Every structure is written in C-alpha cells, then in structure tokens.
Amino acid sequence: MDRDGYIGVMALYCLLFMALIGTNHATVVNVKTKGAKGDGVTDDGPVITRAWKEACAGASPSSLVIPPGIYLAVAIELSGPCKGPIKVIAKGATIKAPPKLGMFKKDGWITIIANTDGIHTMRLNGLNITNATIKTGDDCISFGDGSKNVYVQKSTCGPGHGFGIGSLGKYPNEEPVKGIYFRNCTLTGTANGVRIKTWAAMHPGAASDIHFEDIIMNNLNLRPSDLARHYSIHTSNYVFDSNNFGPSKVQLSNLTFRKIRGTSATQVAVKLSCSQGLPCDNVEVANINLKFKGGTATSKCSNAITKVVGPNVPDICPA
C-alpha cells in the first residue's frame, strides 16, 4: 500500500479484469454467493475481502471466484498467511474504487484522494495475476511484507502509481518478501514505473528475488521510474519521528530489472537509491531503453552492488 500520499492523485476509480485459470481446487469461494452485489453501487469491498479470507483459510489449493459484474470496492486486500497457493478467477469482473473524501493538505489545497491500491497483498505465499487491467489512484499492484512466490504477467497499469514492492520497514516484525515476478506488463500514464519502497530509519526487513522483465512504460507522468528506492525524506503523510531519519534497515537483494523500455517523464529515468547501512546486494540491470522527451535520460545509483548488462539507454551508473 502506498502510504506516501501523493498530492494530486486524481484517478478515483479502479477497474480490474483478472483472468486466471483454476483447476481442481479444494476450496472455491464465489464472492456472489458470499453476498457481493456486483451492481456497481454497493460497496462490495468488505465482502470480497472476507471471501478472500475464507479462501485463504480453506483447504489448499483454493480459489476466489469473482463472476462478471461491476464491483464497487474501496480496496481489496489479499492478506495471508494462507493454507496454500490461491488463484483469483475474475474473468469479466470490473472492480471499481469510488472517490474517498480527501484531507486538508499543508499547502492549502483541498484534494480528493484515493489512496487505494488496486491489489495489495501481505503475508501471502503463491498468487498468479494474469491479464489484469488496473486503473487506480494508488499502486496498481503492490506487495507488502511476507508476500512470496507471486507472478504478475501480461497486466497493465494506468492511471496509477505503478507496480512495486512495499512499503517495507514501517512496522516491527515484518516478514521478508521473496520471489516476486513482474513479466510482460505495461504501464501507461502512471506516476511511477516499477519500484521498491522502504522506509528510512525504521524497522528491519528484507526483500529478495524481485524481478521486473519485459516491461513497457508509456508516458509516465510526475515521477521517473524509480527502480529501487529508499525513502530518505518522508512525504506528506508519513507519520514518524522526524528526528529519526537514517538509512533504511530493509535489505534488498537479488533484484533484476530487464528489458524495461519506453518513456520517462523526468530526466532521471533510472534511480537505484539504496540504504547506506544495507546496500542493495546483487542488482542486475539489463537492456533498459528509457527515453526522456526533454533531453537525454540519465541514471543515478547509490549504495547498490550492480551488474549492468548492455546496451542500456541511459547508461546505468556510469563511473
């Protein structure tokens, strides 16, 4: 879940089509039979979340079925731990997030925000998301602590905040994130590209085996594609002790960013900004081709042990 409260988040809806094939599941939970209306008016979020919990607790392997329909839902959180892998079968389903009334910002603007992730998972082992189209005011798909063995394939994001991991390191006792694959995905008109977000000077954590491959980014707006990012400055709604800044305690390792191409809205197209205390270990950046319309795209790297495989545009971490 994106907790950094970007100002100006205006996309107030979420459409989600997921088409996942399930076979021989021991537990099948259908959100309609659990009371979801799918009428585009009733908030089905709580029902879907409850149905997820039931599938999660049921005999493994299980599946959550969302039949065709329009489901109004603020957010759907897929939290574990579950008994085993889960498939979400949502062919022809549209999940729509309504606007949430915003808060008064320091700069005096009254903004309507929808700090609502399309899909956010926590403590979940085994999930495949295929052919999803997600439009939201927050991360399209993000994986929080304890997410493991997740494949996101052939899915698109936009508008939204992109695809990523995190935020990690905000709470004590977070479980490691491990084995997350984003493949053949497209981001269009998003605030960010792909990124890994961790908190500065907060709690220990780890994310490893995170892979982004064959990603197309079109017309990213507002932000560069932050490939791996450690916040060192908090943004408006991060509530923590501001005297407590320091390097992140979340270890990032075994990350790959391969064949990511398209346009960056800002000149710094690639930013590997890792913790001084725990440098990113074993990052591979390969065959990036990101252009910047206003000039030459650049990259910035700090505290990352990086293997670069070319050609790359821009040059990655030139000496």
Ligand X SMILES: *[C@@H]1O[C@H](CO)[C@@H](O)[C@H](O)[C@H]1NC(C)=O
Which candidate, 26, 39, 110, 122, places its Cα nearest to that of 73? 39
Which candidate, 282, 206, 203, 196, places its Cα nearest to that of 251? 206
Of 128-136, 222-230, 267-275, 299-307, the segment contacting ligand X by CB under 6 A is: 128-136
Which candidate, 236, 234, 269, places its Cα nearest to that of 248? 234
Active site residue 161: yes
Which ranges in the chain belong to alpha helices (H)? 45-57
- CB-nearer residue toward ligand X: 85 or 247: 85
**29 within 8 A of 65, measured Cβ to Cβ:** yes
Of 93-101, 114-122, 209-217, 227-235, the segment contacting ligand X by CB under 6 A is: 209-217
Interacting residue with ligand X among 79, 111, 131, 218 (CB under 6 A): 131
Q: Please give the size of the binding site for ligand X, defined by CB under 6 A.
A: 21
Residues 2-61 that bind ligand X (CB under 6 A): 19-21
User: Out of 25, 120, 161, 230, which one is annotated catalytic?
Assistant: 161
CB of 245 to ligand X, least distance (A): 26
CA dihedral sign of residues 46, 52, 57, 58: positive
**302 within 8 A of 273, measured Cβ to Cβ:** yes
Q: Is 85 in the site for ligand X (CB under 6 A)?
A: yes
Strand, coil or helix: 51: helix
Eight-class DSSP state of 106: T
Interacting residue with ligand X among 60, 111, 184, 219 (CB under 6 A): 184
User: Distances from the Cα of 92 to the Cαs of 18, 68, 75, 95, in angstroms?
Assistant: 7, 5, 18, 10
Sequence-distant (6+) residues with CB within 8 A of 241 are none
CB of 142 to ligand X, least distance (A): 18
CB of 19 to ligand X, least distance (A): 4
Residues 103-122 that bind ligand X (CB under 6 A): none
Structure token pair of residue 316: 């990655």
Interacting residue with ligand X among 49, 208, 218, 219 (CB under 6 A): 208
Question: Which phi-psi region, left, alpha or beta, contains residue 169 (left: φ > 0; alpha: ψ -120 to 50)?
Answer: left
Q: Is 130 in the site for ligand X (CB under 6 A)?
A: yes
User: Out of 2, 4, 138, 139, which one is annotated catalytic?
Assistant: 138
CB of 151 to ligand X, least distance (A): 4
- CB-nearer residue toward ligand X: 151 or 238: 151
User: Distances from the Cα of 108 to the Cαs of 4, 7, 89, 105, 236, in angstroms?
Assistant: 18, 11, 43, 6, 13
- CB-nearer residue toward ligand X: 97 or 206: 206
Angstrom distance (rounded) from CA 262 to CA 225 = 10
Q: Is 254 in the site for ligand X (CB under 6 A)?
A: yes
Q: Is 126 in the site for ligand X (CB under 6 A)?
A: yes
Angstrom distance (rounded) from CA 40 to CA 295 = 44
Q: Is 87 in the site for ligand X (CB under 6 A)?
A: yes
CB of 281 to ligand X, least distance (A): 7
Q: Is 280 in the site for ligand X (CB under 6 A)?
A: no
Interacting residue with ligand X among 30, 79, 237, 253 (CB under 6 A): 253
235 by Cβ neighbours in 10 Å (0-12 / 13-18 / 19+) ranks as exposed
Residues 188-207 that bind ligand X (CB under 6 A): none
Active site residue 209: no
Residues within the interface to ligand X (CB under 6 A) = 19-21, 85, 87, 126-128, 130-131, 151, 154, 183-184, 208-209, 213-214, 253-254, 282
The set of catalytic residues is 138, 161
